[in-house]
Amino acid sequence: MSSDEGRAQRAGTREWVGLAVLALPTLLVSLDMFVMLLALPHLSRALHATGVQQLWIMDVYGFMVAGLMVTMGALGDRIGRRRLLLAAALVFGLASVGAAWSTSPLMLIALRALLGIAGAALTPSTLALISHLFRDPRQKAGAIGIWAGCFTVGAIIGPIVGGAMLERFWWGSVFLLGVPAMALLLAVGPALVPEYRDEAAGRLDLRSVVLSLAAVLPAIQGVKSFARDGWGVTPALLLAAGLAFGALFVRRQRRLADPLVDLRLFASRTFSATLGSMLAYSTLSGGTMVLVAQYFQLVDGLPPLRAGLALAPGMAASVAGFQIAPLLARRVRPAFLIAGGILITVTGLLVMTRSDTSGAWVLIVGFLVSCLGTAPLVTLGTNLIVGAAPPERAGSAAALGQTAGEFGYALGVAVLGSVLTVVYRSRIPAGAPPAARDSIAGATQAASHLPAPAGRALLSAAHEAFVAGLHTAAGLSAAILFATAVLLAVVLRHLPPLGQPPSDPAPAEAALAESVQ
């Protein structure tokens, strides 16, 4: 690339302001997930929601986001990413207002589902538009770093802002947080964000849409059932159904001239290894974060808001990493930078294995160190996944990356939660009450009905058993992530630092480049 071409591709003020506008929905989608954790008890009392209804209020949003993200990515490629983004912003804003003044659990569940549909359209649209706005590789990596950092910012401010609002206003106020931002996006988005669509794309294959939903939704529900109730007939049937419909989905995509997901992307070792590694990373790091949050509340006895604040230093470190990683990527090859970041996360997980029941400071430090290593894989990995696809398929590629993250988080809660449960039950004394052997929450309740010395002994044993399970989960995650770092260091070794000419691609990469032209 000549210097003149490089200057022509570099984004200016208009593009960076456009990025700020595109970052708003990303922030709000993340914030909405976390603020509900605090609002659920309040709205459940106000609406007299049953236990099953509470589960649907919490889960239906994530189901819709995960189930429809691939479809929405492909739809944006066909009808126009800006058009889909603005339509989703309008729906998100209206559904938020409706949710704030819901009068029944069923009404809130329906509106939460509508919010999830809009959220599924917002995320891949914003990422695909960012890849179109920023053509310079270095600027694109920086823009994706800001975009990815917004997810973490939402996770930080969600519990804090939500807790403050719930102390002063009614439960529905938390749903109104996103309305001003969506109004701003609708007002200035058409002027700042360019439209992009694939003019040669065919019609959306509705059968593929149905098959994708039939594959993703049962699989996620099966994982959640496994995490909540343990292994049984229901989780097994749901997972089997998801796998079966997934196989039918893949078979259909191979036969279509204009598929919902272009399976030729997986011929790229860079794409496949990066997507698989992001799935593994979200599974292990997300699951560990949930266990650490449980420690703060169940072992250390912190209320939800203070437990959220205990996670804040790690989240802040992650945000800082998202801004630093693109700068380092200009001088360091992605293979070494991404692998190095994962090894930092491994170090943080190993620090967590040194924690005990006497205080939370070791976990706070370990979680902070683990979050420092997040940015290279998320930022550069997202850049590699979107960059592996031709421009007209960027929305679909972005959706695959985000779907892997959503599914990985649910899988991590199930798998690592099960690991902790097995270790916990093996460490509880045989003579303990059945509720205490089932969970640490059950042990807390059982201890309250025992004489003081016996109650303290039971709680001490439960706390130590929980910490032992946390150590096992963190150690297992560290081992798998270490192997992931080695894999990426090998597969991505041919990629140069950002902005430098690439070396000769691997044969699969060259074949892919020819096939998508």
Q: How far apart are CA 425 and CA 350, in angstroms?
A: 23
The 10s digit of each residue's pLDDT in 264-287 is 878 888 888 888 888 888 888 877
Both 218 and 274 in one domain: the answer is: no
- Are 376 and 343 within 8 A, CB to CB? no
User: Do residues 289 and 330 share a domain?
Assistant: yes
Indicate if 287 and 367 belong to the same structural domain.
yes
Indicate whether 434 belongs to any domain.
Answer: no
* Same domain membership, residue 355 and residue 253: no
- Residue 1 falls within a domain, yes or no? no
Q: How many domains in the chain?
A: 3
Instruction: Quick: pLDDT tens for 335-344.
Output: 899 999 999 9
Flag whether 469 is in a domain: no
Structural domain ending residue among the three candidates 151, 176, 200 = 200
Residue 255 and residue 269 in one domain: no
DSSP 354-381: T-BTTBSHHHHHHHHHHHHTHHHHHHHH
Please report whether residue 2 resides in a domain: no
- The whole-model pTM stands at 0.77
Rounded to an integer, what distance in angstroms lies between the CA atom of residue 134 and that of residue 147?
13
Q: Is residue 514 part of a domain?
A: yes
Domain stops at, among 243, 259, 275: 259
Q: Pick the closest to residue 406 from 5, 65, 27 (CA basis).
A: 65
Is 313 found in the same domain as 393?
A: yes
What is the CA 407 to chain-centroid distance, rounded? 8
473 within a domain of the structure (yes/no): no
65 and 146 part of one domain: yes
What band does 512 get if pLDDT is binned at 50, 70 and 90? very low
Over the stretch 162-212, which tens digit does the pLDDT of each residue have?
767 777 788 888 888 778 888 888 888 787 777 776 666 667 778 888 898
Question: Does residue 111 lie in a domain region?
Answer: yes
Question: Could you tell me if 224 and 192 lie in one domain?
Answer: no
Digit-coded pLDDT (tens) for 10-34: 767 777 888 888 887 777 777 766 6
59 and 134 in one domain? yes
Q: Do 364 and 237 fall into the same domain?
A: no
pLDDT greater than 50 at residue 3: no
Q: Is residue 331 packed enough to be buried (19+ CB in 10 Å), middle (13-18) or exposed (0-12)?
A: exposed
Of 209, 444, 460, 490, the closest CA to residue 357 belongs to 460
42 pLDDT more than 50 = yes
Tell me the backbone φ, ψ of residue 169, rounded to 5 degrees.
-125, 180
Residue 506's CATH number: 1.20.1250.20
Whether 399 maps to a domain, the answer reads yes
Same-domain pairing of 176 and 294:
no
Identify whether residues 253 and 123 lie together within a single domain: no
Rg of the chain on CA atoms, in Å: 23
> Residue 110's domain spans which residues?
12-200
State residue 202's pLDDT score: 65
